[in-house]
């Protein structure tokens, strides 16, 4: 079973205070880029892997999705999501051992959750099988450049701010202190993520190494460094349809 850090009091308190937790999608700077990778949701069946407080599930309902299923490991987050209402169904699930009905969804969505999963190839196969022909998997994750280093954090070198990259190809566990001590993440390279999707029978549709744009940096000057080392990787991959060439 995956580490359930979100139900730990200190982490949950810290996470709840984040801008993306308080403001939802509008508080997540990468949301416009991720949104641009989504298909139209009207009449579609949607599953959200790691739904948190349910911000995306509520948005998908408002967009006219036929059904929305939010899955999360955290009881505290599910309780909050259910309390908000909105028509989505919420269930507890561990992405490490996830079982989904086959061909049941048109969109599988996941925001900043898959870097907590040790067995990504298994998850990719599970998601691929759960998609109907022509369905899409859209997800964000911490960028491998963000998770790779032995000591992640900007440093000064000869008057310049640099990201001290090492261990990029050393895939596996990373423990960091973010909101709580000893948060467990799993580092893997971009190639490993992409090849796992391809091996699962999905077709890569778009890759985004996300950094803030000029307008976002003007509004939040401290974000400029994120263009030196992108914090997020966004991915869209499709399950081929019967008539696709």
By DSSP bridging, strand 131-142 and strand 232-238 are antiparallel
Q: Which of 3, 67, 176, 195 lies at the binding interface for its own copies (CB under 8 A)?
A: 195
Question: Please, which residue, 67 or 176, has the CB nearer to its own copies?
Answer: 176
Minimum gap (Å) between residue 178 Cβ and its own copies:
20
Asked if 218 touches its own copies (CB under 8 A), the answer is no
Asked if 224 touches its own copies (CB under 8 A), the answer is no
Give residue for tokens 């299923």.
Answer: 69
Give residue for tokens 């139900």.
Answer: 7
Backbone angles phi, psi at 131, to 5 degrees: -85, 140
127 is written with which tokens?
A: 């998601």
**Half-sphere exposure for 11 (CA within 13 Å, toward CB):** 17
Asked if 160 touches its own copies (CB under 8 A), the answer is yes
Rounded to whole angstroms, the Cα distance separating 23 from 52 reads 13
Rounded to whole angstroms, the Cα distance separating 120 from 202 reads 14
Candidates 11-19, 105-113, 114-122, 153-161 — which segment interacts with its own copies by CB under 8 A? Answer: 153-161
Q: Which of 13, 162, 218, 219 lies at the binding interface for its own copies (CB under 8 A)?
A: 162
Asked if 84 touches its own copies (CB under 8 A), the answer is no
Rounded to whole angstroms, the Cα distance separating 172 from 118 reads 8
Candidates 80-88, 109-117, 176-184, 203-211 — which segment interacts with its own copies by CB under 8 A? Answer: 203-211
Asked if 229 touches its own copies (CB under 8 A), the answer is yes
Minimum gap (Å) between residue 44 Cβ and its own copies:
22
Rounded to whole angstroms, the Cα distance separating 175 from 171 reads 13
Asked if 36 touches its own copies (CB under 8 A), the answer is no
**Sign of the torsion angle spanned by Cα atoms 196, 202, 203, 205:** negative
- Residues lying near its own copies in the complex (CB under 8 A) are found at 145, 149-151, 155, 157-158, 160-170, 189-191, 194-195, 198, 203-209, 211, 227-230, 240, 242, 244-245
């Amino acid at each position: 079973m995956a580490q359930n850090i979100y139900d730990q009091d200190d982490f949950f308190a810290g996470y709840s205070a984040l801008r993306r937790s308080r403001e939802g999608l509008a508080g997540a700077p990468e949301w416009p880029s991720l949104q641009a990778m989504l298909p139209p949701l009207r009449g579609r069946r949607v599953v959200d892997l790691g739904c948190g407080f349910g911000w995306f599930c509520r948005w998908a309902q408002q967009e006219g999705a036929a059904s929305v299923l939010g899955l999360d490991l955290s009881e505290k987050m599910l309780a909050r999501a259910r309390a908000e209402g909105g028509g989505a169904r919420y269930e507890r699930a561990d992405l490490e051992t996830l079982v989904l009905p086959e061909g049941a969804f048109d969109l599988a969505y996941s925001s900043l959750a898959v870097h907590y999963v040790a067995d990504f190839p298994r998850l990719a196969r599970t998601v691929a099988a759960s998609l109907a022909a022509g369905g899409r998997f859209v997800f964000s994750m911490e960028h491998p450049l963000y998770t790779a280093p032995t000591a992640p954090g900007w440093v000064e070198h000869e008057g310049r701010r640099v990201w001290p990259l090492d261990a990029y190809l050393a895939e596996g566990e990373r423990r960091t202190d973010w909101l709580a001590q000893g948060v467990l993440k799993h580092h893997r390279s971009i190639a490993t993520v992409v090849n796992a999707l391809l091996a699962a029978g999905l077709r890569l549709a778009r890759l985004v190494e996300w950094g803030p744009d000029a307008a976002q940096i003007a509004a939040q000057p401290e974000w400029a460094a994120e263009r030196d080392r992108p914090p997020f990787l966004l991915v869209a991959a499709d399950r081929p349809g019967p008539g696709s060439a």
